[in-house]
Chain A
Amino acid sequence: MTNSVAKPLIYQFGSATFIKMMGDMPLVSLDSADLLDAVSFLRNEMAFSFLLDVTAVDNLDIAHPSSTRFELLYLFRHGEFEKTLALKVAVADPEEGVDSIVPLYEVADWLEREVWDQYGVVFKGHPMLKRILNHNEFVGHPLRKDYEITKGQYCTQTQDMMDELQPLMDAKGLDKERDELMILNLGPSHPASHGTIRTLVALDGETIKAGASEIGYLHRGFEKSCENHTYNQIIPYTDRLNYCSALMNNIAYAKTVEDMMGITLPDRGIFIRVILSELSRVIDHLVCLAAGLLDMGAQTNYWYLFNPRNDAYDFLSKLTGARLTNSYMRIGGMTHDLYDGWRGDLYDILHKVDVGIAQTLKMIEHNRIYQDRIQDVSPVTAEQAMAYGFTGPNLRASGVPYDLRFTSPYYYYDRFDFDMVVGSVGDTHDRMMVRFEEMLQSMRVIRQAAVAIPKGEYNVSDHSITMPPKAAVYNTIEGAMNQFKLVYEGVKVPKGEHYGAFEAANGELGFYIVSDGSGTPYKVKVRAPSFVHMAAYPKIIESYQVADAIMTLGSLNIIAGEMDR
């Protein structure tokens, strides 16, 4: 058996073998000796121009692994976005490692660094293979199965980062003394860097000549924590990935697990998820724009945009009991149905958001100061954006029409009447204005969904997945046992692996999950859009001023929770 997407690759390379389908994604195993050639073939001949993610699996705890201890996984997406492909490469010796694919995909730089940091797999020829999420004094590789989860290590001193900045300066022929450059830390403790992003820049006056970013200040061990919690216990952790749109992470994660199990929600459940996803997208963009405008001193707009957001949080509080971190979803549905009278509350919020956007746009749209500060600042061309691995509003701002809701629709998105928002030059202006327009489009979807939502069940009725009714738990021994087993052992997910992609507020949010058949995942990897966007940040702020860099960071909407995980 083979697969039409993977066929050219398998035909070309003797070691390439089709393993199975992960949903729509063919998984192909490959010998590490062929890696560089095969990836080059994938990119140049088969037009898989998007590298989504690179990660590793540690097979130490698997009873009879079919392969070596470490396996690498490369996820690709076709340049026309619909087709995807995964490569699996067995690593004979992690110290020896495999070839780096950085020469082919710029985005691989940080992705490979993370694999080395977390798993200790070496990438030969990588330009700067050093720690990225963990601190520089850290010993060991925490995502290895033999690294104990609670073994923390104190960091006494922050690294100076010149080992990264100096080569960049040398490459440009810059000398600190001769060119009278100032080396300056922007962050991590800086009001515009969210307290977690550090960029070391070489300044000539106000102009950034070279820069290097350091992340990991909010690394919270999400992926390791997933490995000792049941599938439903992970939902609160997903809230805290992109905490500006927590519900959307809940949904993306639950959907991936449901796809692994081959279950589909009843229509009412799907509609609730669509409404809440789009509302979360609106909230996320509101926060991004409000904070971005505040960073440039446009404080009035902050109030205009933050007040409707607070009203949206009132709605979410009423529905889920929490303002920010809702944990409302469960595998197979959600905790409870919408409350009576939700529609009126929702329409009220949409109206207030409309007013807030209108007030803000009135202040900025024809405002000379605003326009001059953000137009033609840090433009990213379509080709660059693809090479950097951008997704979501940041990619669309560069004029690339890629939105998973259109290119591979899920949850009836193909039946809603709304438009994809695409920019033109990909500068800070486009990145911000795309978000303004996307909020309006999301509200179109919400209004249609709120009318079309059917009555009936909202959860999967299989009680090996969702909780039994309380009456059964309290009155029957079967019900009590059912609840106990679900809580104690977790939802059983069939053995296998899966990659699920979701159009989140910041772009393609992917979960790669490996299950060993138990109620706890063997491995969870998040493909976080902000991680990828951040990797490009020091490159795109070059030759602009410090004040521009602040606006660029705001417009990329880097959320540290999902970036550092």
Chain B
Amino acid sequence: MDLSNSDILGDAIVTTRVDAVINWGRQSSLWPYVFGTACCAIEFMATAASRYDISRFGAEVLRFSPRHADLLVVAGTISYKQAPILKQIYDQMPEPKWVISMGACASTGGFYDNYTTLQGIDEIIPVDIYIAGCPPRPEGILDAVIDIQKQLWREPTMEVRNKDYKGKLDDE
């Protein structure tokens, strides 16, 4: 950027809404926590690699601590055995937080309609965006990130999201 003319604005003041400033910042700095368990995680790796390059959308700062992240990407099959761990990770994330359910298994159990597979993660945690596919193509993940960016503009910035959600593993 050419800074030589930086004084043309002088002492100008810009008026805007607080929400707009916050959302402007949030939309391009989503920090994902990838809860990758299976095939979908391999496609997420491809999305993070140079060809698809998720950093074009400001979501490349992958965090491996839920306390640093605000976007949970559940990539892969979640079994009943895994479910309490997913819930714990979700609970550890600070507000505001968004959840992408990537692929058929995370969204509905997929074709694993059996004794061991959770039939969709929305039984235990709230989900914002579902991506179809088994696994989805990397473009699908990018599309979901863009959807989250659009969605956060429509929401109040200072409220806790999903207060009314009650999952199967939540206390009565």
Known: A151-B115, A225-B114, A237-B111. A244 touches B84 (CB 8 A): no
Asked if A324 CB lies within 8 Å of chain B CBs, one says yes
Asked if B91 CB lies within 8 Å of chain A CBs, one says no
Asked if A216 CB lies within 8 Å of chain B CBs, one says yes
Known: A189-B85, A217-B82, A220-B79. A152 touches B39 (CB 8 A): no
In the complex, the answer to whether B111 meets A324 with C-beta atoms within 8 Å is no
Asked if A18 CB lies within 8 Å of chain B CBs, one says no
By a CB distance below 8 angstroms, the chain A residues around B38 are 196, 218, 220, 240, 243, 560-561
In the complex, A225 Cα to B37 Cα: how many Å?
Answer: 20
Asked if A12 CB lies within 8 Å of chain B CBs, one says no
Stretch at the interface among A26-34, A70-78, A142-150, A456-464: A142-150
By a CB distance below 8 angstroms, the chain A residues around B81 are 134-135, 155, 158, 216-217, 219
Stretch at the interface among A2-10, A175-183, A300-308: A300-308
In the complex, the answer to whether A195 meets B113 with C-beta atoms within 8 Å is no
- When C-beta atoms are compared, the residue in chain A nearest to B83 turns out to be A155
Known: A150-B115, A225-B114, A237-B111. A302 touches B49 (CB 8 A): yes
Asked if B134 CB lies within 8 Å of chain A CBs, one says yes
In the complex, the answer to whether B116 meets A220 with C-beta atoms within 8 Å is yes
Classify chain B: how many residues form its interface, as a range: 35 or more
In the complex, the answer to whether A155 meets B49 with C-beta atoms within 8 Å is no
Stretch at the interface among B4-12, B14-22, B23-31, B40-48: B40-48
In the complex, the answer to whether A196 meets B135 with C-beta atoms within 8 Å is no
Asked if B68 CB lies within 8 Å of chain A CBs, one says no
Asked if B64 CB lies within 8 Å of chain A CBs, one says yes
By a CB distance below 8 angstroms, the chain A residues around B111 are 225, 236-237
By a CB distance below 8 angstroms, the chain B residues around A237 are 111
Main DSSP-derived SS at the B contact region: loop
In the complex, the answer to whether B84 meets A152 with C-beta atoms within 8 Å is no
Give the tally of cross-chain contacts (CB within 8 A): 133
In the complex, the answer to whether B82 meets A218 with C-beta atoms within 8 Å is yes
Encoded as 1 (CB less than 8 Å from any B CB) or 0, chain A from 222 to 260 comes to 001100000000001101100110000000000000000
Encoded as 1 (CB less than 8 Å from any B CB) or 0, chain A from 120 to 160 comes to 00000000000001110000001000011111111111100
Encoded as 1 (CB less than 8 Å from any A CB) or 0, chain B from 43 to 69 comes to 101100111000000000000100000
In the complex, the answer to whether A310 meets B46 with C-beta atoms within 8 Å is yes
Encoded as 1 (CB less than 8 Å from any B CB) or 0, chain A from 322 to 335 comes to 01110000000000
In the complex, the answer to whether B37 meets A217 with C-beta atoms within 8 Å is yes
In the complex, A560 Cα to B82 Cα: how many Å?
Answer: 13
Within 8 A of B (CB), among A55-70: none
In the complex, the answer to whether A188 meets B85 with C-beta atoms within 8 Å is yes
By a CB distance below 8 angstroms, the chain A residues around B51 are 307, 310
Asked if A291 CB lies within 8 Å of chain B CBs, one says yes
In the complex, the answer to whether A194 meets B84 with C-beta atoms within 8 Å is no
In the complex, A323 Cα to B138 Cα: how many Å?
Answer: 10
In the complex, the answer to whether B135 meets A307 with C-beta atoms within 8 Å is no
In the complex, the answer to whether A149 meets B114 with C-beta atoms within 8 Å is yes
Asked if A190 CB lies within 8 Å of chain B CBs, one says yes
Known: A220-B77, A220-B79. A225 touches B45 (CB 8 A): no
Asked if A287 CB lies within 8 Å of chain B CBs, one says yes
In the complex, A517 Cα to B167 Cα: how many Å?
Answer: 44
Asked if B146 CB lies within 8 Å of chain A CBs, one says no
In the complex, the answer to whether A157 meets B84 with C-beta atoms within 8 Å is yes
In the complex, A325 Cα to B105 Cα: how many Å?
Answer: 14
In the complex, A493 Cα to B45 Cα: how many Å?
Answer: 39
Asked if A103 CB lies within 8 Å of chain B CBs, one says no
In the complex, the answer to whether A154 meets B80 with C-beta atoms within 8 Å is yes
Q: How far is the CB of A493 from chain B (nearest CB, A)?
A: 22
Asked if B107 CB lies within 8 Å of chain A CBs, one says no
In the complex, A482 Cα to B37 Cα: how many Å?
Answer: 40
In the complex, the answer to whether A195 meets B116 with C-beta atoms within 8 Å is no
Asked if A191 CB lies within 8 Å of chain B CBs, one says yes
In the complex, the answer to whether A324 meets B43 with C-beta atoms within 8 Å is yes
Known: A189-B85, A195-B37. A153 touches B80 (CB 8 A): yes
Known: A196-B37, A218-B38. A152 touches B137 (CB 8 A): no
In the complex, the answer to whether B115 meets A224 with C-beta atoms within 8 Å is yes
By a CB distance below 8 angstroms, the chain B residues around A150 are 113-115
By a CB distance below 8 angstroms, the chain B residues around A323 are 43, 46, 135, 137
Encoded as 1 (CB less than 8 Å from any B CB) or 0, chain A from 185 to 212 comes to 0001111001110000000000000000
Encoded as 1 (CB less than 8 Å from any A CB) or 0, chain B from 153 to 167 comes to 000000000000000
By a CB distance below 8 angstroms, the chain A residues around B82 are 188, 196, 217-218
In the complex, A324 Cα to B80 Cα: how many Å?
Answer: 25
Mark B residues whose CB is within 8 Å of A: 35-39, 41-43, 45-46, 49-51, 64, 76-77, 79-85, 89, 105, 111-119, 134-135, 137, 168-169
Query: Which 10 pairs show the lowest CB-CB distances between chains A and B?
Result: A243-B39, A221-B114, A135-B81, A195-B37, A306-B49, A191-B64, A221-B116, A217-B82, A220-B112, A155-B80
* Contact sample, A vs B, 13 pairs, CB 8 Å cutoff: A135-B80, A147-B115, A150-B113, A152-B114, A154-B80, A154-B169, A157-B84, A158-B81, A218-B82, A219-B116, A220-B38, A220-B77, A220-B116
